[in-house]
Amino acid sequence: MTDALERYLADNADRRIASYLEFLRIPSISAQPQYAASVREAAEWLAGQLRSIGVEHVEVAETGGHPVVYGDWLHAPDAPTAVVYGHYDVQPVDPIELWETAPFEPFVRGDRMIGRGSADDKGQIHIHLRATEALLATTGALPINLKFVFEGEEESSSVHLDAWLEANKERLTADLAVISDTGFFEGNRPAVTVGLRGICYIQVDVTGTAVDLHSGQFGGAVQNPANALAQIIAALKGPDGRIRVPGFYDDVAALTETDRAAFAALPFDEEAYRTDLGLPALVGEAGYSTLERRGGRPTLDVNGLWGGFEGDGAKTIIPAHAHAKISCRLVPDQDPGTIYELLRAFILEVAPPGCTVSVQFLGGGRPSLTPIDHPATRAAARAIEATFGVAPVYIREGGSIPVCASFETILGLPVVLLGFTPPDDNAHAPNESMSLANHETAIRTVAAYWSELAALPR
């Protein structure tokens, strides 16, 4: 790192925390319609930031849903061009009572920035803003060309993004895409993610009578929607952790010996992982290790389950209806649309009689593997090692970033997943946090990465 850059970063340390806090104060929850104005406010805030640091052609672009923020800096004629992606929307805050302070009143404690979006993903967008600012302020230029694409719907399945990418193909020509929306490995070990799972998200609604019934008067005569839903859910997965939906595994690319060796080589303390989670045991599909089950195998999980009486004490009813939200994490080469059809057919087939069952698709995203041997991936590893002082491990992650596959298929770009959050960031949960040490060093990593990319043979 140049002295000038270090000096600039040191001189602006307080401003940097202030702008991070400012960004986090905007409640940009994409999934809940009542926050739509705040999502737009976050987009406008970002656009203002990009303009103020010298990024050009900044635009809050309409998508039919929440806007995409675009901006570019294209004055490095002989250097490569990277599309830099992040998402400025965040997850809902429930259960609110488990937050130490309000989710959108962020604060710093020790090494942590605490608040919704501090890690996923506003904190990582902020890293890019401040890295770009520092480079432009100190050198008047960037080592490579950058096209920023900041999305506002990632946490609700990026519904409108593919169409926007299609419509903006010309404008988005580049050599690679860099996504900063992943994190480090266990023990906060620097990592480059090289695989993400896809997702298929459904809702199952089971309906009986128009209103709840007296369970004494009617119990024994009618189907109970909650029992029926429990039967359906129980049919989906066996005690061996295998998903019982016919055809579910048909398109799963088996883990190769190389894949399995890579999982086995990671410095993973399974016992510490278990005790940190406070669990009596780790469970999953038979025949696979914990890391394989998390990063390389598909899953089926109930995300939410409701129906009937949930208050204190006893109320004797047969509920009128019961509901479940269920998601499957998918691996190459599973397709969310195909999995949805298989799930739907199986659920309707195993549904017990005497009730109405409906299945709806709530969202999906394709799985992806990024090229581990690509020069741009190796360059990212060098930038991480140069700034964090440790060579990163390469990991396949269990989470999903739908745009990753879209960058590959729609724009034809190789993707580098360059993310910096610590593994205990509580993403999607109460008290989400980001390590400020990671955030600070990552600003240097991003700057170093652009230089590494500029130095690659063209």
Site of interaction with Zn ion (CB under 5 A)? 120-121, 181
Shortest approach of ligand BES to residue 170 CB, angstroms? 27
Q: What are phi and psi of 435, to 5 degrees?
A: -70, 125
Measure the CA–CA gap between 64 and 62, rounded to whole angstroms. 6
Closest to 347 measured CA to CA, from 450, 252, 248, 262: 248
Shortest distance in whole angstroms from residue 319 CB to ligand BES = 28
Say if residues 61 and 67 touch (Cβ distance below 8 Å): yes
The number of CA neighbours under 13 Å toward the Cβ of 172 is 25
Q: Which is nearer to Zn ion, 120 or 397 (CB)?
A: 120
DSSP 92: -
Residue 429 Cβ vs ligand BES, minimum distance, rounded to whole Å: 11
CB 351 within 8 A of CB 229: no
The residue of the chain with the least Cβ separation from ligand BES equals: 399
- Which range touches ligand BES (CB under 6 A), out of 1-9, 10-18, 105-113, 152-160? 152-160
CB of 395 to ligand BES, least distance (A): 9
Cα(222)–Cα(317) distance, integer angstroms: 12
Distance CA 48, CA 59 (A): 10
Residue 199 as a binder of ligand BES (CB under 6 A): the answer is: yes
The tokens of 13 are what?
A: 């340390």
Asked whether the beta carbons of 421 and 183 are under 8 A apart, the reply is yes
Q: Which of 178, 21, 173, 185 is nearest to 101 (CA)?
A: 21
Nearer to Zn ion, 67 or 152 (CB): 152
Q: Is 173 helix (H, G, I), strand (E, B) or coil?
A: coil
400 binds ligand BES (CB under 6 A): yes
Residues in the chain: 458
Q: Can residue 28 be called a binding residue for ligand BES (CB under 6 A)?
A: no
Among 132, 157, 289, 445, the residue binding ligand BES under the rule CB under 6 A is 157
Q: Does 155 bind ligand BES (CB under 6 A)?
A: yes
Binding window for ligand BES (CB under 6 A); candidates: 179-187, 217-225, 265-273, 334-342: 179-187
Residues in 368-397 at the binding interface with ligand BES, rule: CB under 6 A: 397
DSSP state of 392: P
**Residue 127 binding target from ligand BES, Zn ion, none, CB below 5 to 8 Å by type:** none
133, 151, 153, 154: which one contacts ligand BES (CB under 6 A)?
154
d(CA 319, CA 328): 27
Residue 9 found at the interface with ligand BES (CB under 6 A):
no
Cα 183 to the center of its chain, rounded Å: 10
Candidates 50, 401, 416, 436: give the one binding ligand BES (CB under 6 A): 401
What residue ranges in 161-216 does DSSP mark as E strands? 176-179, 191-196, 198-207, 213-214
Q: Which is nearer to ligand BES, 357 or 404 (CB)?
A: 404
Q: Which stretch binds ligand BES (CB under 6 A): 153-161, 246-254, 342-350, 353-361?
A: 153-161
Q: Is 432 in the site for ligand BES (CB under 6 A)?
A: no
Residue 298 sits in the site that holds ligand BES (CB under 6 A): no
In the set 72, 120, 133, 432, which binds ligand BES (CB under 6 A)?
120
Which of 446, 302, 434 has its CA nearest to residue 20?
Answer: 434
Closest distance to Zn ion from the beta carbon of 402 (Å): 11
Beta bridge partners of 322: 206, 307
- Strands (E) in 220-354, as ranges, are 299-307, 317-318, 321-330
Query: Which residue of 182, 188, 223, 435 would you call a contact of ligand BES, by CB under 6 A?
Result: 182
For residues 144 and 449, the answer to whether their CB atoms sit within 8 Å is: no
Q: Which is nearer to ligand BES, 49 or 182 (CB)?
A: 182
Q: Which entry of ligand BES, Zn ion, none binds 182, CB below 5 to 8 A by partner kind?
A: ligand BES
How far is Cα 129 from Cα 16, in angstroms, rounded to an integer?
A: 10
CB of 138 to ligand BES, least distance (A): 30
What does 402 bind: Zn ion, ligand BES, none (CB cut-off 5 to 8 Å by kind)?
A: ligand BES
Name residues contacting ligand BES, limited to 341-370 (CB under 6 A).
363, 365
Pick from 284, 332, 399, 430 the residue near ligand BES by CB under 6 A: 399
Residues 87, 177: Cα–Cα separation, whole Å: 14
Comparing CB distances to Zn ion, the nearer of 378 and 428 is: 428
Q: Which of residues 278-297 bind ligand BES (CB under 6 A)?
A: none
Q: Which does 298 bind (CB under 5 to 8 A by kind): Zn ion, ligand BES, none?
A: none
Distance CA 379, CA 171 (A): 25
Q: Which residues are near ligand BES by CB under 6 A? A: 120-121, 154-155, 157, 181-183, 199, 363, 365, 397, 399-402
